[in-house]
Structure formats: C-alpha cells, structure tokens
Structure 1
Amino acid sequence: MRITNFIIALLITAMAGPALASMTTAEQIHSGAEQFLAAFSDAQGNEGFTVSYDTGQLDPRLSLATCETPLSVSFSGDPWKSTQPSLLVSCKGDRPWRMFLPVSITITGEAMVAARPLGRGERLTKAAIQSDSVVVNSIRRGAITNIEQLVGMEMRRGINAGTVFTPDLVLAPAAIERGDHVIISARSGNFSVNSRGKALASGGIGDQVLVENLSSSRTVRARVTAPGHVEIPM
C-alpha cells in the first residue's frame, strides 16, 4: 500500500556533554531524517518499489532547543508526486519548534504504459497496456500502477507508445448515450416502479442526466446506475 502521509516518531538521544545536552543539533536532526527515510524505503520495498534518497545538508552550527519528547518527522508534501519533497521535523515538547529539511527522493517501480500508439476515444484493452519500470514520483499527475484501473476506460487524447498512464489521460466510458432508450426506476426504499424513457444527454455511471419519460412526456433528472438504467428518488 502506498504511504503518502508517512510519519514516524524518532527518539534522538542527546549527545554526552553539558554543552550539547541543552540543544538539538544539526547532526541529530540529520540522523532523525535518515532513520525516517530508511523506514519509508523499507516499507515501500515490501510493496515492490525501490527508494533512493539524499537528505541534503544542514548548517552544522544549527542548534535548537532541547526536545524532551521524541522528534516527529514527516513528509510536508506527497513524495509520490515530487522527487524533491521536504521533511517537516518538529518538537512538541515544552519548548516546541519546527523546521523544514529539503530532501531528494526517487521511487522506482512498475507502472502502466501504452503498448502502442493510442487514439482519442479508443477503449483500452489489456493488449494496449503493458508495465514498465519508471521513476513513479517524477510523474506529477500520478502514475497508474494497476492495470485494472485502465481496462475498459477511454482515452481523452491520443498518446505515443511508452507514455505512462495518468488519471487525466483516461475517462470512464458513457454508460448511456444521448438518444438511448433507458429504463427509469423510481425508487423508495425496497419499492420501485419502472418506466421507459429516452436519455437527453450522455453520462457515465453515477452521473446525473436529463431523461424524457416516454409515458408522461415529462423531463426528469435521473442518476445513471448501469448501462441503459437510470434512477430517480420517489
């Protein structure tokens, strides 16, 4: 499972010596960040992803108030949509503080790509999709990693072979097209009455569309529940 809000409390042991016992040093913050990223890397490795990272540099002269509680480290942004998120390091003790530490991170894994050139409006089949190893978090719109999320969808625009699939490239096909004859279900609890109608607009499952009731010639707004079926509340 992806972890987009990955938070670990890290206990940073104060270094020996009276001068250092009253402050949190850059070295301790850097160590906490390393532990956090190592844990994140291990967690993603269990899901088939490879994570590499660089915590960058801190001014070695940095010193902050001693934290009497474990330091909290978390991503301040979504590491799945950026290769340069920041870490939020904070102390929630009697003398609280917070700071941001820039890091570089790459998450490599299998994502779905086009097996061949695809045209606008084309319905996707498994033969049109293949997996490839990509830097997942360099795809800012979010790479699709599950083929089942794509099969049966339609292309919003044409793409070349090898293009990584992202949610903005596909849309659910219309379950009802304008002019289709449909079954209108008027439902109240477990009781329903069906009538025949004609769709006045196209829509996918869950969309609201205008439908003409062919018996009464009334126009009603109904929710698409399945191909050829709409529902209105009673």
Structure 2
Amino acid sequence: MRTLILFTLALIFSLPARAEPATTADDIREMAERFLQTWADDQRERNRRIEYQIGNVDRRLKLAPCEGEPKLEFASDPLRTPSPSMLISCAGKRPWRMYVTASVEAYGPAIVAARPLTRGERLSSAALTTSEVQLNASRRGTLTDMSNIQGMMVRRPVKTGTVLTPDLLEAPDAIERGDHVIILARTGSFSVSSRGKALGNASIGEQVLVENLRSERTVKATVVAPGRVEIPMQ
C-alpha cells in the first residue's frame, strides 16, 4: 500500500505543470480594437468622424497572462498625427508593456478662410467659415472656436479654403509706439500707478520700453492689458 502511494505521488509530481494561457497577438489586437472603437464613439459625440486601422502585430507574440485589466492609452495625440501609437501595459508579478501603431483619420469641423487673407489683416467672422476637414492631417493643429481668434492678425497671406492653424496667427499689439499708458508698480498687494509713454510696440505678455512722464526715466515694463504695463516695485 505504501509503495502504491509513493508511486502515485511520484506520478503526480512528474506530470508537466499546466501552462497558463499566454497573451497572444490576437488578444493584443482585440484590446487595441476595443480601445480605438470606444475612443471613436466618444469622438462621434463631439461631432468628429473617425476612421482607423490597427497596425501589424507579430503573430509570434506571446506575453505573460495579465492578472488584472490591461491599461491602454495613446502614446501620441491622435488628433495631431495620423499615425498615433497606443501603449498597452499590464502590471502584476510578470508585468509587460508594448506599443501598437494605428492609422487614424479624424474628421471634424474646423475654421477655414472664406476668402483670401492678407498679411497683417485682423480677422473677423466675415472672413472665416467652418468646414469639415481632416483634423490630424498636420501636426500644427486646427482651430475650432471663432470667438478665440476674433481680432487676431494673419502672419502671412492665406488662400481661400486654407485651414487656419495656430502658427498662421499672432496677437495684435496691445500697445503701439507713442501710446500713453498707465504704469503700475506692484509689490505684493501694494501698488502705485503713474502715466507713461510707450517707446515701442508690444502685445500682452511682452516687454516694452516705457518713458515715465513724471520722472522722465525709461523703464522696461510688461504689457498686462491694452494701455497698461506693469513693473516690479524697487
């Protein structure tokens, strides 16, 4: 009887361990497919149309089984590039991570020029229109809110139908040479104001030389609003 028990135990321990199911290429593609489809559904609610195709995944791929839910995220912005990567990662005792590429075309409304625009022209709603374009055709991005670009200036000539991108526009000067301005000297919650004259052009956030009309001193100030500049109190 003892011999039979020992033989049975030896037989059990000699059997190969049952292999855990590996994470295969098909599993990875399925994860990527679900992730992209969920994202595409979300974009549809934002009035954007998404077409996508998942890149190649090596059929020989075999990764450790994932104990929990794998984490998926874009490694690059799919609204800024037509070839974004997705990072799929799994934590646990045998963690792994891998990248999967995709071909993505994102279509949606964007602002385009309704007529030719000249260099230095200030934008108005009459010069602009909205049209469906491929949003991720260029890494320069697109513009979708007309209220954000009203009054902006065009950096260079633009043809009718051109998709407006941030690099095509610049903020107009908030202060021009010769303008009378309010100089605000500030330290903490205490401030003193005086009148001055701008010695150059500058937009909000830029620095400009200003002559203090009372002391006749020239100071370098930061433009904080049209007609207003700020300097640190000495």
Range into which the TM-score falls when normalised by the shorter chain? 0.7 to 0.9
What is the match of residue 222 of structure 1?
221
What is the match of residue 121 of structure 2?
122
> Which deviates more, 203-212 or 118-127?
203-212
Identity %: 52
* Counterpart-to-counterpart distance in 2, 1:193 and 1:83: 53
User: So what's the TM-score if we normalise by structure 2?
Assistant: 0.87
* Counterpart-to-counterpart distance in 2, 1:143 and 1:154: 16
What is the match of residue 185 of structure 1?
184
SS in 1 for 2:30: helix
| Pair 1:212 & 2:207 matched | no
Shift of 1:190: 4.9
* Counterpart-to-counterpart distance in 2, 1:32 and 1:20: 22
SS in 2 for 1:36: helix
What is the match of residue 151 of structure 2?
152
Shift of 1:187: 3.1
SS in 1 for 2:158: coil
* Counterpart-to-counterpart distance in 1, 2:18 and 2:160: 61
SS in 1 for 2:20: helix
User: What amino acid maps onto 2:170 in structure 1?
Assistant: L
Shift of 1:204: 0.9
Q: Which whole-Å deviations, capped at 9, do the CAs of 1:98-121 have from their partners, x for residues lacking one?
A: 111111111100000001000110
What is the match of residue 11 of structure 2?
none
* Counterpart-to-counterpart distance in 2, 1:74 and 1:35: 12
Q: Which whole-Å deviations, capped at 9, do the CAs of 1:193-223 have from their partners, x for residues lacking one?
A: 3222111221111222111112111111212
Q: Which whole-Å deviations, capped at 9, do the CAs of 1:118-164 have from their partners, x for residues lacking one?
A: 01100000001100100101122001111112111001111101110
Shift of 1:26: 0.7
User: How many pairs are equivalent?
Assistant: 217
Distance 1:84 1:20, change over 3 A: farther
Shift of 1:179: 2.3
* Counterpart-to-counterpart distance in 2, 1:58 and 1:132: 36
Distance 1:127 1:108, change over 3 A: same
User: What amino acid maps onto 1:60 in structure 2?
Assistant: R
What is the match of residue 92 of structure 1?
91
* Counterpart-to-counterpart distance in 2, 1:194 and 1:89: 57
Shift of 1:188: 3.9
Shift of 1:171: 0.5
* Counterpart-to-counterpart distance in 2, 1:126 and 1:216: 44
User: What amino acid maps onto 1:187 in structure 2?
Assistant: R
Shift of 1:233: 2.7
Gaps of 5+ in 1: 1-17
Q: Which whole-Å deviations, capped at 9, do the CAs of 1:10-39 have from their partners, x for residues lacking one?
A: xxxxxxxx9873310111111100110011
User: What amino acid maps onto 1:178 in structure 2?
Assistant: R
Aligned CA-pair RMSD: 1.7
| Pair 1:58 & 2:34 matched | no
SS in 2 for 1:130: strand
* Counterpart-to-counterpart distance in 2, 1:82 and 1:186: 45
Q: Which whole-Å deviations, capped at 9, do the CAs of 1:64-104 have from their partners, x for residues lacking one?
A: 11111211111111111111111111111211111111111
Gaps of 5+ in 2: 1-16
Shift of 1:189: 4.7
| Pair 1:108 & 2:85 matched | no
User: What amino acid maps onto 2:191 in structure 1?
Assistant: S
| Pair 1:27 & 2:26 matched | yes
* Counterpart-to-counterpart distance in 1, 2:117 and 2:178: 28
Shift of 1:59: 2.6
